[in-house]
Amino acid sequence: MHVTQTYWLEHAWLDTHVEPGVAVDTADGRITAVRSEVTTPPPGAEILRGLTLPGLANAHSHAFHRALRGTAQVGSGTFWTWREVMYATAARLTPDTYHALARAVYAEMALAGITAVGEFHYVHHAPGGTPYADPNAMGEALVAAAAEAGIRITLLDTAYLSSGFGQPPTTHQLRFSDGTADAWAERCSVLKDRDHARIGAAIHSVRAVPADQLETVARWAEERRAPLHVHLSEQTAENDACREAHGCTPAQLLALHGVLGPRTTGVHNTHLTAEDISLIGSSGTGTCMCPTTERDLADGIGPAVALQNEGSRLCLGSDSHAVIDLLEEARAMELNERLRTRTRGHWTAAALLRAASADGHAALGWDEAGTLEPGALADFTTIALDSVRTAGPLPRLGAESAVFAASAADVSHTVVGGRHVVRDGVHRLVPDVPKALADAVAALRG
Ligand SMILES: [Zn+2]
């Protein structure tokens, strides 16, 4: 069946500027034409009032962390104490409860204008480490959840084999582990791409994958030309332990074992040496900043400007889902840098949008998304310009209102593959997203 639809965009972000009155023709989920100076909506067109952007890509997600929102804010501590609370939640997940939670979380993402998610997935097996009857039951639950919520997913199937350098997994971590990288590869080789889903790889961290296992994961991704993500230097304790075990930094260890390169994305890249920054940049390795999580977990501020200057492409993720708002992630990257340097204007709004859309999609293996042009996937999101946050006539409409003033609550439309998933702020596939979230979180608390 040949499905065509025209959308009329009151204002459209066309990579460098806003254009009023743009018609976007789509067929079978792709953009076939972008027509400017269309002052009135063509007959039969879906009308998108506000500012329409390319779909947003959430390049780093752990869907189950959404169950910790609010509850993990009580008390003091560090990343490491937060992790204990997170492990207690992970211990209660089953394929069914994880499916229900992820469907609701991905629906929340759709409502926030996110059209693709990179799910960094490591809860593979039953508690204790016994595989499910389908060893990929958990990954399949996430892929199905994304389909039901109407968004794209790159399942970054994650190798997680040890609790630290030379240490076996702890009780909580047993369900994350396949034992060896070969066994990990064998399991995830069974997973297949679909229209809305692509399969990528991840190395949880240099703590969780022994050095002699890194190459197996890197080779698996290389052979499939699949994206490869890795948590990198989020914590100084990881750097210290890596130096003690291997006499080098995590970035150096990854470089030594063939992990860095243009299809690889380092997540966080927070505590790096000058040499690390140049290794990451010169190898073409990307960087996924997760500013709302990094500030929530008291991680520190990563050197995003320096990384970009050395050649690392930047993208953004909501990671622990303390909030799900890619516009907030985008401006937080700039605002963190302002606080650190006491100067403004490190990125333009256009550059921040690029990180939140085209470059995020590229990091997830969706190179054909993230732009409004013929041939691209028909994925876009519309920001209302008449809310309390965005109202006020501007002399010249740019991306600034969207990036520096709007929030996820201002997303009025989300279109994925030419399908209107969110219309006028209402999710069309998951009827009551707050209830779905509440029920899924309650089920996990038992
Ligand atoms: Zn993470």
Distance 62 CA to ligand 1 centre (A): 6
Q: Which one from 125, 268, 271, 361 is the annotated catalytic residue?
A: 268
Question: What integer pLDDT is reported at residue 395 of this predicted model?
Answer: 65
CA of 121 to the centre of ligand 1 (A): 9
> What confidence tens digit (pLDDT) does each residue in 367-406 have?
999 999 999 999 999 999 999 999 987 767 888 988 999 9
pLDDT at 226 over 80: yes
What domains can you pick out in the chain, each with its CATH number? 4-54+369-427 (2.30.40.10), 56-363 (3.20.20.140)
For ligand 1, the distance from its centroid to the CA atom of residue 375, given in whole angstroms, is 32
Pairing of the two strands 411-416 and 419-423 = antiparallel
Rounded CA separation 9/315 (Å): 26
For 224, list phi and psi in degrees, rounded to 5. Answer: -95, 0
* Catalytic pick among 178, 296, 319, 359: 319
Q: What is the pLDDT of residues 18-45, one digit of tens each?
A: 999 999 999 999 999 999 999 999 999 9
Task: Please give the pLDDT value at position 143.
Answer: 98
Residue 418 has pLDDT above 80, yes or no: yes
Burial class (CB in 10 A: 0-12, 13-18, 19+), 377: buried
Residue 403, sorted as left (phi over 0), alpha (psi -120 to 50) or beta, turns out to be alpha
CB atoms within 10 A of CB 236: 12
Give strand pairing partners of 288: 267, 315
**Gyration radius of the chain over CA positions:** 21
**Segment 141-167 mean pLDDT:** 97
The per-residue pLDDT for 3 is 83
Query: From ligand 1's centre to the CA of 318, what distance in Å?
Result: 9
Cα gap 354→372, rounded to integer Å: 12
Query: At 194, is the secondary structure helix, strand, or coil?
Result: strand
Q: How far apart are CA 85 and CA 122, in angstroms?
A: 16
Q: What is the pLDDT of residue 76?
A: 74
188 class by beta-carbon count within 10 Å (0-12 exposed, 13-18 middle, 19+ buried): buried
One-letter identity of residue 40 = T
Nearest to 115 by CA among 291, 373, 364, 432: 364
* pLDDT tops 70 at residue 241: yes
d(C-alpha 244, C-alpha 312), whole Å: 27
Tokens of 242: 């890596």
Distance (Å) from CA 231 to ligand 1 centroid: 6
Gap from CA of 292 to ligand 1 centroid (Å): 12
Residue 340's DSSP bridge partners are none
Tell me the CA end-to-end span of the chain in Å, nearest whole number: 45
271 alpha carbon – ligand 1 mean position (Å): 15
Tell me how far the alpha carbon of residue 290 lies from the centroid of ligand 1, in angstroms: 8
Q: Considering Cα of 255, then 258, then 264, then 265, what sign does the dihedral take?
A: negative
Neighbouring residues of the ion ligand 1, judged by CB less than 5 Å: 319
- Tell me how far the alpha carbon of residue 319 lies from the centroid of ligand 1, in angstroms: 5
* 3-class SS string, 397-441: CCCHHHHHCCCHHHEEEEEECCEEEEECCEECCCCCHHHHHHHHH
pLDDT digits (tens, 9 = 90+) for 38-91: 999 999 999 999 999 999 999 999 999 999 898 777 777 787 787 888 888 888
In terms of Cα–Cα distance, which of 429, 377, 383 is closest to 406?
383
Residue type, 164: G
Structure tokens at 390: 């965005």
Question: Could you confirm whether 229 is annotated as catalytic?
Answer: no
Q: Could you read off the pLDDT of 192-204 as tens digits, one per residue?
A: 999 999 999 999 9
- pTM strictly above 0.95: yes
CB 330 within 8 A of CB 352: yes
| Runs of H (alpha helix) within 189-312 | 211-224, 236-246, 250-256, 274-282, 291-296, 304-309
Amino acid at 304: A
pLDDT tens per residue, range 288-304? 999 999 999 889 999 99
- Please tell me the distance between residue 10's alpha carbon and the centre of ligand 1 in angstroms: 37
Ligand 1 centre to CA of 61 (Å) is 7
The mean pLDDT value of the chain amounts to 95
Q: Give yes or no for residue 310 having a pLDDT over 70.
A: yes
pLDDT at 111 over 90: yes
